[in-house]
Structure 1
Amino acid sequence: MQITIHKSGELLESTKQVIQEKVSKLETFYDRIERADVYIKEDDGNTANGHKVEVRLSIPGNDLFAEHTDASIKRGIAEVTEALRRQIKKHKEKTVDRDQAGISHADMAPSDDEEEIIVSEEQL
């Protein structure tokens, strides 16, 4: 997964490392993440020294997005990655449900390679 951090100013190296670690860990929950765009913005003044942290994950289908405002960028990224983890879990559950709903009894018929087991009434 490619991680791009967008910030108007400079970030401490330790902050960059935390962002990389937290966002990379999301791959353990879903291996089809193509790209992560992390945006760090100065907030509009609602929080003292507030930072708005936004992350957009590019995955097949619709992208996943979360944001959080906090005085600490590190706490903000922790909150955002936790929200994305929950979204990934929900996305995977929907995908599995959709896949299971597509299976019909006709699809479960034995193929030419498989033998159909026929039981006579005498064997019951």
Structure 2
Amino acid sequence: MNVKMHSIKFDADSKLLDVVQKKMNKLDRFFDRIVDGEVFMRLNNEGIKNKTVDIKLNIPGDQLFATASAASFEAASDEAAQALTKQLKRFKEKAMSH
């Protein structure tokens, strides 16, 4: 899957980008027709959960979006990927029933 990654208000290191890319690649297991995706990682100034990850997936005929905040980008990307997994499963079931 082609994934564009954007880090806002910080420079992401290659280790973080690799971790996020692996999580995105796992989404292909649930729906094999994902066109592409975009990941936005940004630092917030308030609270313990100051790292936010937004993931946008383009699939044929629709667009899925999930956002999560956590103490680390790895945890936030994991939460967002889990939310997208649920959305992909629902979308696939809905598409199969028609």
Q: Match of 1:53?
A: 53
* Percent of pairs with identical residues: 31
Paired residues of 2:66 and 2:80 also in contact (CA < 8 A): yes
SS at match of 1:48: coil
Normalization by structure 2: what TM-score? 0.92
Q: Match of 1:102?
A: none
- Residue deviations 1:74-94 (CA, integer Å, cap 9, x gap): 000000101100100000010
Identify the structure with the greater strand proportion: 2
Query: What is the rounded CA distance, in whole Å, between the counterparts of 2:58 and 2:96 in structure 1?
Result: 19
Q: Match of 1:19?
A: 20
Please report how far the alpha carbon of residue 6 of structure 1 lies from its aligned counterpart in structure 2 after TM superposition: 0.6
How many residue pairs are counted as aligned between the two chains? 97
Normalization by structure 1: what TM-score? 0.74
- Map residues 22-33 of structure 1 onto 2, 5 A cutoff: 22-33=23-34
Paired residues of 1:37 and 1:57 also in contact (CA < 8 A): yes
Long gaps (5+) in structure 2: none
- Map residues 1-124 of structure 1 onto 2, 5 A cutoff: 1-8=1-8, 9-45=10-46, 47-48=47-48, 50-98=50-98
Query: What is the rounded CA distance, in whole Å, between the counterparts of 2:94 and 2:45 in structure 1?
Result: 36
Paired residues of 1:56 and 1:65 also in contact (CA < 8 A): yes
Long gaps (5+) in structure 1: 99-124
Higher relative contact order (CA 8 A, sep 6+): 2
Query: What is the rounded CA distance, in whole Å, between the counterparts of 1:89 and 1:48 in structure 2?
Result: 31
RMSD: 1.2
Paired residues of 2:4 and 2:38 also in contact (CA < 8 A): yes
Deviating above 2 A after TM superposition, structure 1's stretches of 4 or more consecutive aligned residues are: none
Determine which structure has more spread, i.e. the larger CA radius of gyration: 1
